[in-house]
Amino acid sequence: MTTPAPPRDTRTLATVAHTAFFLLLGASLARFLLRHPGEPRTPWIIALSITLALLYVLGPAVGPALGAAPTSRRTGRTRQTRPTGRARQTLWLGLIVATWVVLVVLAPSFAWCAVPLFFTALRTLPPRAAIVLVALLTGFVVIAQLKLAGSFDPNLLLAPPAVAALATAVFVHMERQAQAQRALIEDLIRTRRELAATERREGTLAERQRLSMEIHDTLAQNLSSQQMLLQAADRTWDTDPATARAHVRTATGIAARGLAEARRLVHDLAPAELADGTGLADALRALDAGPDIEVRFHLEGAPAALPDRVQSALLRIAQGALANVREHSGARTAALTLSFLGDQVVLDIADDGRGFHEPRVATGERGHGLPAMRARVRQLGGTLTIESTPGEGTVLSAAIPLEPTG
């Protein structure tokens, strides 16, 4: 797992800390050379200063000292490095602190290099160990500064602990903010992924429902019509061959239309009846419910251009309704009425069959057709109403609102 780039605030803090360390180290060395020229300890001071600088530069090679702590992609929270990496970082920090302590013993002016070392310790060690080390470094700085001053100075006794406390508080606060930000970002990413997964599931379910309705209203109805026609042809084959052959030819035509519908369904095209530019009114006028049922079509109002989705839905509803009339109603006639009422288009399908009780529709006892019609209309923001009384036929009405054109 790769480690993401540290946040900008963390990189800025690291840059400031690195710069401050080298500036303080250089200033302390320059101060010592100016005030103590030619002393025997000067070569040692120079050598230790160079060693301390080199050790500090080697920090990134042993681990993320002042960079960003490794972050888990799954949790978004800072994770601990492997034990070997942690041991190398601890050893590196120990060498830096030891070298700095020797320098401060030889030249107390190097004590101010402790401030950037505070951040190094806080970034490298666990929180409790880091705070203990910062406290020890602070105490050592106080002793070194009092020794350098040669007399007791309350400012030297209180200033280093105050600086250390402020630096620690600032770092801890920024670290907590960074962890909270990482956690928030991870939560947002996880929420976005969950939302995308939910949308994919909803899209899959919607597509399955669409295919289910298309198959029911086209292929299933065509197969049912073919079955009825072929059964009728089989019954009359010997007594009335002409009628039987007419039934077979009608079944062949239905099979051809069903094949065209299947191909268009695969390619997600418009219904075959509308594919060649035929209007909805003409497509409805061409529908039939079988050889024993007369279908009449009426057009009311001034026809308006309808979206393809509305035309397809109304045609499928009409096909499904006529299939129900043929299979369940025992009707002799059926009437299709397409009405343009300005702000909505209404399709009524009425028959003179045996009718049924409305509660049976609500409980879904009549199969898949009516629920599919309700789903089609609901997707377009419309309503589907059914009025039926046993012995008096059925009227199905689908009303779909139209967007204003002005």
pLDDT digit string (tens) for the chain, length 406 residues: 444 445 566 667 677 777 888 888 888 888 888 888 778 888 888 888 898 888 888 876 555 444 444 444 444 444 444 445 677 778 888 888 888 888 888 888 787 777 777 777 777 777 778 788 888 887 777 777 777 666 666 766 676 777 777 777 777 777 778 788 888 888 888 888 888 888 878 877 776 776 777 676 667 777 777 788 888 888 888 888 888 888 888 888 888 877 777 766 665 555 666 766 668 888 888 888 777 889 999 999 888 888 888 888 898 899 888 888 888 888 899 999 999 988 899 999 999 988 876 544 433 444 567 888 888 898 889 999 999 888 888 999 999 998 764 4
Task: List Cβ neighbours of 11 (8 Å cut-off, separation of 6 or more).
Answer: 67, 68
Q: Residues 65, 191: one domain?
A: yes
Asked whether residue 83 is assigned to any structural domain, the reply reads: yes
User: What are the helix and strand counts (H, E) for the chain?
Assistant: 14, 5
**Residues 174 and 283 grouped into a single domain:** no
Tell me if 302 is assigned to some domain. Answer: yes
Residue 292 shares a structural domain with residue 186: no
Q: Cα–Cα distance between 124 and 118 in angstroms, integer? A: 10
Q: Which amino acid is at 241?
A: P
Co-location of 151 and 296 in the same domain: no
The enclosing domain of 315 has a CATH number of 3.30.565.10
Q: Are residues 25 and 161 in the same domain?
A: yes
Question: Is residue 3 included in any domain, yes or no?
Answer: no
Give the residue from 138, 135, 156 showing the smallest Cα distance to 147. 156
Paired tokens of 268: 């997600």
Residue 296 lies in a domain: yes
Tokens 């060690």 correspond to what residue? 125
Residue 170 belongs to domain spanning: 8-195
Last residue of a domain, one of 176, 195, 214: 195
- Domains in the chain: how many in total? 2
What separation in angstroms does the CA of 363 have from each of 250, 277, 406? 35, 38, 41
Contacts of 213 (CB under 8 A, 6+ apart): 316, 372, 375, 376
**Distance (Å, whole) CA 32 – CA 346:** 97
Strand-pair category, 383-388 with 344-351: unpaired
Q: Which of 195, 226, 248 is the last residue of a domain?
A: 195
Is 298:336 a contact under the CB 8 Å cutoff? yes
Q: Report the pLDDT value the prediction gives residue 201, as an integer from 0 to 100.
A: 80
Look at residue 216 and tell me if it is in a domain: no
Q: Which residue has the tokens 């129900």?
A: 324
Whether 393 and 352 have beta carbons less than 8 Å apart is answered as: yes
159 and 52, same structural domain?
Answer: yes
Tokens of 401: 């609102």
CB-based contact 240:279 (threshold 8 Å): no
Same domain, 163 and 14: yes
Say how many CA atoms lie within 13 Å of 216 toward its Cβ: 21
Of 175, 195, 215, which closes a domain?
Answer: 195
On whether both 87 and 190 belong to a single domain, the answer is: yes
The secondary structure element, H or E, covering residue 350 is strand 344-351
Q: How many C-beta atoms lie closer than 10 Å to residue 197's C-beta?
A: 10
Does residue 313 form part of some domain?
yes
Q: Which residues contact 354 (CB under 8 A, 6 or more apart)?
A: 329, 330, 331, 390, 391, 393
Q: How do strand 294-300 and strand 383-388 relate by DSSP bridges? A: unpaired
**Could you give the CA distance from residue 285 to residue 258 in angstroms, rounded to a whole number?**
18
Task: Dump the DSSP string for 15-28.
Answer: HHHHHHHHHHHHHH
The type of residue at 234 is: D
Say if residue 15 is in the same domain as residue 138: yes
Q: Is residue 207 part of a domain?
A: no
Residues 176 and 300 placed together within one structural domain of the fold? no
Strand (E) or helix (H) holding 338: strand 333-340
Domain check: are 161 and 60 in the same one? yes
Instruction: Write the DSSP assignment of 303-314 as a string of letters.
Output: -----HHHHHHH
Residue type, 170: V
Together in a domain, 301 and 169: no
Does a structural domain hold residue 269? no
